[in-house]
A = this chain, B = another copy of it.
C-alpha cells in the first residue's frame, strides 16, 4: 500500500483525512479518545472495519491518558469513553463490536495492576488492528484466484483499503493479483450519490498503480454489452443466512446486469459480515439517507428545491445472483444456506 488509512504511531492515532480525498492526501494525528470520536463522527475515517479499529485505538488512548488512581475510577472513565465512541455512529456494527471487545478484555482482567492493564489495552487494540490487516490479506489471497490474466473487473462503492486497516475487502484481491504480477483492469462505478467510487476507489487503486477506469453508474450495462467486463467484485455490509447480500445502493442492479450478460458476480467480505440470525435479505431494514445527497453536488443544487427524492443507502442482492462469496477463510459457493453455516462454525 502506498498510503495507510489509520495507524498507531508514538502514543497517537494517525488517520488519512478521507474528506479531503481525492484532492489532498493529508494525515491527521489524534491524541485523545474525544478527538477520535469526533473524527469518526465527521467522517475523517469511514468503512465499517476501519471505524472499528479507530474506536479500539480511541479506547487505547483513553487508557493511556487516564490519571485514575484506582480501578473503579479507571473503569468508569473507560466505560464513559466506550459509550461516547459508540454513540458517534450508532448503526455501525464493527464500532460497537471493537469497543465491547476492549471492554470485555479489561473487565476480565480486573486483578492486574493499572499500568499493566493500560498497556494491555493498547496491545488488544493493536491486535484488533493486526487481525483486520490479516483478514484483508487472506480475503485477497483467496479472491485473487478469481482474477484471470488479461480480464477486466467492475467494482462499486469503496470496499478498499480506505474502508479497513489493511488492504480492503473487495479491492484486496486486486492488490494481491498485482503482487502476483497478473495483468488485469478495473472499472470503478462512481457510486452516486456519495461518490465513494470516484473519490475513494479510483484514488486508492491509482495510488497503488492498478489500471483503473472511472465510469458513471449507468455506463456499467454498456461495458458489459461490449464484452469488457469479466467479473463484478463488490463488498458487503451484511450477508444473511440464505446468502442474500446487503450492500451499497446500485449493487443489486449490477448483479441483475451481470446475470443477463453471463458475467460472474463475486462478493468479498470478512466472515464477521455473515449474519446467520437473519434468514433472508427482505428482513433487513434499509436506511434512507437525506435527500440533499441526491439534490446537491458539492453544495450546488442539481434539482428543483421542492423535488421529492427516494434515497435508499443500500439494496439487497438475492443469493441466486451471487456466484461466490470470498471470506478470509476461503471461497464459498451455493447453496449458501449450507456453505455459510459451515464457514461460520
Using a CB–CB cutoff of 8 Å, the interface residues on chain A facing chain B are: 22-23, 187, 189-193, 195, 198-199, 202-203, 206, 211-223, 225, 249-250, 252-253, 256-257, 259-260, 294-295, 297-298, 300-304, 306-312, 315-316
Q: Which residues of B contact A220 (CB under 8 A)?
A: 253
Q: Which residues of B contact A302 (CB under 8 A)?
A: 22, 190, 195, 198-199, 297-298
Q: Is the CB of A306 within 8 A of B206?
A: yes
Q: A218 and B250 in contact (CB under 8 A), knowing A307-B212, A309-B213?
A: yes
What are 30 A-B residue pairs whose CB atoms fall within 8 Å in the complex?
A: A22-B301, A22-B303, A22-B304, A190-B303, A195-B302, A206-B304, A211-B308, A213-B309, A214-B295, A214-B307, A215-B294, A215-B309, A215-B310, A215-B311, A216-B311, A217-B218, A218-B249, A218-B250, A218-B253, A219-B249, A219-B310, A221-B250, A221-B252, A222-B249, A222-B312, A225-B252, A225-B315, A253-B253, A297-B300, A297-B302
Q: Secondary structure at chain A's binding surface: helix, strand, loop or mixed?
A: mixed
How many copies of the shown chain assemble into the complex?
A: 2
Q: Which residues of B contact A206 (CB under 8 A)?
A: 304, 306-307
